[in-house]
Structure 1
Amino acid sequence: MHSPEMRARVRALRAQGNNIRSVARTLALPYTTVWHWCVDRPDPVQANSAARCFRCRPDQVGPSDPTAYAYLLGLYLGDGHLVTTDRVPVLRIYCTDTWLNLIESCDAAMRAVLANRVQRIQKQGCVAVQSTGKHWPCLIPQHGPGKKHQRPIILAGWQQEIVTAQPGHFVRGLFHSDGCRVSNRVTVRGREYVYPRYMFVNESADIMGLCQWALDLLGIGWRMNRRNSLSVARREAVAALDRHVGPKS
């Protein structure tokens, strides 16, 4: 039987952004035990979503964790969906089920921004990381009917301020959802060369523009190789983006 102090240590490490696997390893606990404490059986003494919504609290001018918000916003713009037709809104981010660290990072970001409880729903080839909360629409005003590329996607002024201060975390969310880091192969005069390259693909011109803007804020060079595809390929640009994004896993 584990003590309340051990449970508190687990939740403290999770609140710092550590994923479940690393918490279990650090405290020499079974993975399933940590998972149940953090995911399946959250601490009942938690603030409700109204108290945590920084848009509805006059005493709070921004998110308590702006890095988590910027990252979550990037994930939403790539592979996210906010359902507002149900009784309680549901924020859902789709993650390929082989990228366990991405699933953990998405889970942690939702909790850091608003969620008291996060569910993981197994789909064919992916996991839907989701959270219900009445105040998700306050924090994700880009939601709306239809596909994102069929409607305007414009950041509110307060969102622009967060992304301007945290462009690396925003870009990380975008590339973790609709981007990838690949090894590009070219043959020059019969000799093959291999070099790393980042790609970001999105049908929304507005979302593509936000990605370009954030990369410009970071001083990272990019180019459009197709209408819906952005490439970061120069050695110094890839090295800079590695510091913010890195390969998905």
Structure 2
Amino acid sequence: MEQHSPSIRAHAVALMRQGVPNRVVAEQLNIPRGTISWWRYEDRKARGEMYRQPTDCPRCTGREFDLAAYSYLLGLYLGDGHIISKYKQHHLSIFCNATQTGLIAAAEDAMRRVMPTPSVGQHVKTGCIEVKSYTRHWTCMFPQHGPGKKHERPIVLEPWQQAILDAHPWEFIRGLIHSDGCRVTNWTIRLIGGERKRYEYPRYFFTNVSDDIRQLYTDTLDKLGVEWTHCTRNGNPYNISVAKKASVALLDAHVGPKY
């Protein structure tokens, strides 16, 4: 290992104490980053300073953040998202259809708008793309996180989350539909002028096993004036349908098909 003079080390430590990042110190002094990291560790240890990972978590720092992006991300999380929070492994994952590149980009953008500092990456899975943001602080932003599947535990919003949803309801609906919903074209046969003709009409579906999440969805639709119905299949009321022309037009204007 190359030996460095005490004066060089002291200069490096002084820069780091001023808040200069390890990478910048290493580049300025032409010293390996590993050496700089070790000097920083030794300096903190000598001063009895406990290292804390920097964070821009809005709940921990009190900083302002993009509320509309959060409302959309909340919908994505309640639909096709989950959080891993355990020793040396902390991240938020949103699973997206691999062919829906617009959805993948929107999920990644929402994560960065809520918390810009954590790294965000994409991981290819079978038939889907997992968009991941790495920080333990996603549990602060989504206190609904817990052991087991979401439909096996209560899902209740905190007052501050409900306030954001009330201010940005369409973003929340958009996130839920982008995760667990779809826009389809249905058809039926109608008798018109004595002649049987095929009639097609657009329809939105939202499907989720959690009673609480479906309730959040339908309560928000009610506030927005969107008419909906239960579409029970095999005795399970997991599907929510929006088929009335005016209501479909509202969803088309604010949500639209996934792409």
Q: Counterpart of 2:218?
A: 212
CA-CA distance at 1:197 after TM superposition:
0.4
- 1:125-177 residue CA offsets vs partner (Å, 9 max, x unmatched): 00000011121110011111111111111101100000000000000000000
- 1:43-81 residue CA offsets vs partner (Å, 9 max, x unmatched): xxxxx98542121124x4xx5210100000000000001
Letter in 1 for 2:227: G
What does 1:93-108 correspond to in 2, within 5 Å?
93-108=94-109
Q: Counterpart of 1:152?
A: 154
Which of the numbers 190, 194, 199 marks the counterpart of 2:200? Answer: 194
Q: Counterpart of 1:238?
A: 248
CA distance in 1, matches of 2:53, 2:100: 28
What does 1:123-134 correspond to in 2, within 5 Å?
123-134=125-136
Q: Percent identity?
A: 48
Contact 1:72–1:110 (Cα < 8 Å) also in 2 = yes
Contact 1:181–1:198 (Cα < 8 Å) also in 2 = yes
Q: Counterpart of 1:17?
A: none
Contact 1:90–1:131 (Cα < 8 Å) also in 2 = yes
CA distance in 2, matches of 1:49, 1:206: 34
CA distance in 2, matches of 1:53, 1:167: 23
Q: What are the ranges of 5 or more consecutive residues in structure 1 without an aligned counterpart?
A: 1-47
Task: Provide closer, same or farther for how the CA distance between residues 88 and 239 of structure 1 changes in structure 2, counting only shifts above 3 A.
Answer: same
Q: Counterpart of 2:57?
A: 53
Q: What are the ranges of 5 or more consecutive residues in structure 2 without an aligned counterpart?
A: 1-51
- 1:178-214 residue CA offsets vs partner (Å, 9 max, x unmatched): 0000001111233211000000000000000000111
Task: Provide closer, same or farther for how the CA distance between residues 238 and 131 of structure 1 changes in structure 2, counting only shifts above 3 A.
Answer: same
CA-CA distance at 1:88 after TM superposition:
4.0
Contact 1:224–1:230 (Cα < 8 Å) also in 2 = yes
What does 1:173-184 correspond to in 2, within 5 Å?
173-184=175-186
CA distance in 2, matches of 1:200, 1:235: 17
CA-CA distance at 1:91 after TM superposition:
0.2
Q: Counterpart of 1:118?
A: 120
CA-CA distance at 1:246 after TM superposition:
0.4
CA distance in 2, matches of 1:166, 1:89: 28
Contact 1:80–1:92 (Cα < 8 Å) also in 2 = yes
Q: Counterpart of 1:228?
A: 238
Task: Provide closer, same or farther for how the CA distance between residues 207 and 145 of structure 1 changes in structure 2, counting only shifts above 3 A.
Answer: same
Letter in 1 for 2:122: R
TM-score (norm. length: structure 1): 0.77
TM-score (norm. length: structure 2): 0.74
Contact 1:97–1:125 (Cα < 8 Å) also in 2 = yes
Task: Provide closer, same or farther for how the CA distance between residues 55 and 49 of structure 1 changes in structure 2, counting only shifts above 3 A.
Answer: farther
Aligned length: 199
SS at match of 1:239: helix
Contact 1:49–1:133 (Cα < 8 Å) also in 2 = no
Task: Provide closer, same or farther for how the CA distance between residues 66 and 50 of structure 1 changes in structure 2, counting only shifts above 3 A.
Answer: farther
Q: Counterpart of 2:30?
A: none
Structure number, greater radius of gyration: 2
- 1:221-241 residue CA offsets vs partner (Å, 9 max, x unmatched): 111112000001011000011
Letter in 1 for 2:106: S
- 1:88-110 residue CA offsets vs partner (Å, 9 max, x unmatched): 42100000000000000000000
